[in-house]
Structure 1
Amino acid sequence: MVGRLIDGRYQVRSRIARGGMATVYLATDLRLERRVAIKVMHGHLADDTQYKARFIQEARSAARLAHPNVVNVYDQGQDADTAYLVMEYLPGITLRELLHEHPVLTTDQAMDIMDAILSGLAAAHRNGIVHRDLKPENVLLADDGRIKISDFGLARAATAQTATGNALLGTIAYLSPELVTRGVADARSDIYAVGIMLYEMLAGEQPYKGEQPFQIAQQHANDTVPTPSSKNPRVPAELDELVLWATARDPEQRPRDARAMLEQLHETRHILEGGQKPAPTPATMQTMVMPSAAPRAAETETQVLGTRVRQRTGPIASDSAATLSTLADRRHSRSRWLFALILILVALAGATGWYFGTGPGSKVSIPDVAGKDVAAATAILLKSDLTVSKETKGEFTTTVPEGKVVGTDPKIGSSVAHGGTVTIIVSKGPEPLAMPPVVGGTEDAARAALEPHFDLQETQYQFDSGQAAGIVLAVYGVDRTGKELDLSTVTEYWDGQPITLTVSLGPIPDVRGMSVAEAQKALSDKDLVGSRSDKLHDWSDDVPEGDVIGYKPLPEGTVVTKGTELQLIVSDGVEQVPVPDVVGLSWYEAKKTLLDAGFKLDYDARADLLPSAVEVRKTDPRAGATVDKGSTIHVEFKGF
């Protein structure tokens, strides 16, 4: 693509970035002599009407916005098989690249960036546009200090209630709870994504993490975003409150749009810059050394934070021998009391050891009875000098067969008093579940919905003329006996049930009119095999001789998967047929014969006035000549 001239106007200079849908290049607009960024859709997506519509939607959405914090879109079009979008070129970096180099931003930096994002987003919301894919990758930081929002490829009208299939196209780390659970987005969904970005700038990381996308999506749907100060104590409480307001799980509890949040951001900045600072907490107070008191004759005193340390000077004098004797008696008396106390403590320790070791206060550990039937578990517990409750508890589980013991209450291994009561917990088998509606959606969305509770097997792929590639066609599984069944025919599902998705590979390539080599390559590109047989050929009025008419029909019910062999039918060209001999026949008989044979006719129209009385004198081509079926026959009559 580098060096190519697109649409006779845009000279591609170099590649800037590449995404899942398109590649962005630096180009020169030769007509206006300016540098532009040109976004080119990937070639394999150009024939997909859904992706092309999204590409055009980006141009229309961004073109409706004229705002200094939104990337300008100049042009959109298609050059041959290349769909492109021409945008304002901003040399610089993305917010994501900035966060890679500086994971934690200062309060002022975060508020400056947030001010620009919310200003541009407010313009979008004011024009009825919801971005739906806000993330640091879509925030551009120009070298000249400008900050702009880009990539409106997922934008929709703010009043649209978009279904889950498209809603989940946004980046999972910034999806709002309503997008995860209901697939519905409005202006408040953008606010949620902005709140997550503000958290990330202040805390240095995203609030939710997980090994799989569905784990992160579940946290968005079920958890409350923590405060940034829990990770970065330097974040002021006012910004904590702004993050919590923007990321409330209930959309009704968030700012109604970007304008409302922008106004609150300005108020927060005013408070932090010009408002009264809060009183310092004990954790932030500095240590102060207090002045010492005036020294006394035999004593100096230092006071630090209210704690006094006295230092005495000079020797301690003995007044007399009587005083020394009194002190010695006191020491002997104290020794006798200490010895008596030790004896008492030893006795208490022995009594305590007996009481809790073998006496009434001793404990017994609950034995492991998991996996056993109730009767066997009861016998083991009774043998351990425990009392078994007559009532059992039930618990759904996929690891212990139904009717077997899962555990006990209190838990296995815990210590209880001799004779303590234990309740047995019995397996109720896997928990019954409702099957999410995944047929007709994408494979990724189906996996995100099913993996938390079902055991997903290897996906089965097949070609389908009615669905685009990546769309779920059916869901199969096994019943409790292990028998395979179409899950659309049953209503009972359970936790951990093995499930297999059948996903479309798109339609089989249409090879009509291709040469045999071209048809075989088109099939090979889709991991199919195109075979040629001398016996498989047929006449064709519109496919030239030697080219492919189509495939030999497969038996009814055949599933076409990767590696399937398709037999090609090759054209013999237009069918050759002999000209019927109608010389000497009346025009009535001759005309019917020639038309029934599939020929077109050229004749003197006067013959139609008395067709039974007019006799054919000759035909051109003559009778018996072999010509293309459908050719024109010139007819002459006697007497004309």
Structure 2
Amino acid sequence: MNSTFDPLVGQVLDGRYEIVAKVARGGMATVYRARDKRLSRVVAVKVMRSDLGEDDEFAAKFDREARSAAVLSHPSVVSIFDQGSSQGKPYIVMEFIEGETLRRVISRDAPLPPDRALELFEQVAAALAAAHEAGVVHRDIKPENVMLTRRGQVKVADFGLARQVGSPQMTATGILVGTASYLPPELVTHARPDGRSDVYSAGVVLFELLTGKKPHTGENNYQIAYRHVNVDIERPSERLAEIGHSADWDIPDYLDTLVLAATRRDPRARIPDGRELLGAVRRARHELARTGGHDNPTLAAALLPESPAEDETEALRPGAERPRPVSAASPPTEVIHRDQWQPARRKPRTAPAPTAQPVSPRPAATALQPRSQRTPVFPHLHISDDPVHRRRRIVALVLLVLLVAGAAGVGSWWWLDGRFTTVPAMSTLNETVAREAASANALKVVRAEAYSETVPAGVVISTDPAAGERLFRGAEVTVVLSKGPERYPMPTVAGLSLDEATTALTDGRLAVGKVTEAFSETVAAGVVLSASQEEGTQLKPGTPVDLSVSKGREPIRVPDHVGGRADKAAKELKELGFEVKVEEENSADMEAGRVIRQDPRDGTAHRGDTVTIVRSLGPVLVTVPDVWMKSTDEATKLLEDLDLKVKLERSSNFPIPLNIANGTDPGAGAEIPVGTTVTLFVA
């Protein structure tokens, strides 16, 4: 439904329920999809129409819906979470159902095969059984109020007309309460609703599932209601034949009877409540699964309750006066309730007292005569030959024969069938309802638990024996309840050795996945560095967890930079992760700025290790001294003291050597490396 122009969309009710979109609109309220900001979940919020907010009767109905449904806790009933009022508009917060209504299923798929129809209808009956046992009558059972989730689970919703049994009638005389197509005839005529009213409406729904048509139609609600009061609902098989539906299945006689037993116009001849309806549905479903849809007249007869006495139905005939309160002169109707579907028993009629016959005087001599061979053995037992008495004796004899035959039949029934029962369908039920279903079938429950990925916790997964199996009454049936999805927390494995981590995972119902290795500067070799799952994450059993294991510190090759530029060597070593220590010294063989030595010079090391390089400052320089006019020996000594090499060279043609220095090459004051050869000129 388009919610663009709805003023409530986007608002937050009571600071908690954020209205997201409009879902549906009904006669007295609008349903929205909303987000519960406190619990972070999607909910459905039903808000009463603003024009009805001041109507006390509608407000009472609205309040009664929340209170009636809130007392119910059943998988097939939409749960009520909260109620309140915001801006003068009462609202109800309930479970949000993702799915479709049963009306849409009927419109799209009906007529449904009997097994599919009973599968859906059994859950409706289970919801009614829970409601009736809680003392709640729905009063508006119809396909629009039955939801089907995406998982196929049926949810009965909209207890807007529901009331507690025994509460006052909320509507005035002549007002139709509920939907006319599903309205029980007693609500049109005179009676207050009870469990039998819901059974009638449910029976109409079953009729529609099986035929795709409503049993009664008309131009308006009152014509439809008139037909409910005055016209019996026909068998679904007859309706299918009338509409000429070429189905691949037949509706068995007991399924026809189930519909008739639920939709009898006289409520006293109808299935009395949801629990009995649920039992009948399960018997029919079991028989359908067992025989594949063949007729079973015995079961059909057992499903149909007895009709009430003719005088008891007089008040419900069309045109009859509505029953008045019983006066003192009117004897009260005696009703005996039984576990099976039987109406009120008839009162036994009292036979009229026999008329006294005149006794003719017997001659006195007769009494003195001796007994003949025909004299009765019991002389005081008088057997009358009166025709009336003779007929009574015949009737008594017939009754005795019937009683003996009935006892024999009951004995045979008990031995062949009566001592057996069947396992009811308990899947999707919670434990309480499952136990009630087993108890209704005279079975004992043995509780078991198992994990399930699809069935919510606390709901029955399966039974052993399976549904439909035949057992002795009082036998045990194992009910397997879901513990929810099986999950295990991810243990802490970082910092453990690979063996320890493997043990931790397998002990925790998990598995070791792919193991990879990586270098680590801080974690010793063989120790787990990380895992593919975070610690504490809930995982399915057997989930593989990948592990990364340390290989220890990464070895790095040390490059040889001897003879290379010292600044470049230091940069490259630092980029590899080494700590670089630079020392300097003079070298006569290595020019300044180049690497004289490196430690270590080759091999491998680890990040953070120190590599020392010695940078050349070049050779040691000395200044050539001034040796002019010094003796040859003195000049030579001055030069050699400076670690210079001296080469003598005569610079004069004077015939007599004077041994006096007159210069050097390089000249005085020149900066030259130690060890350099200096030419000393002497005269």
What TM-score do the two structures reach when normalised by structure 2? Answer: 0.40
Task: Work out which of the two has the higher radius of gyration on C-alpha atoms and give 1 or 2.
Answer: 2
What TM-score do the two structures reach when normalised by structure 1? Answer: 0.43
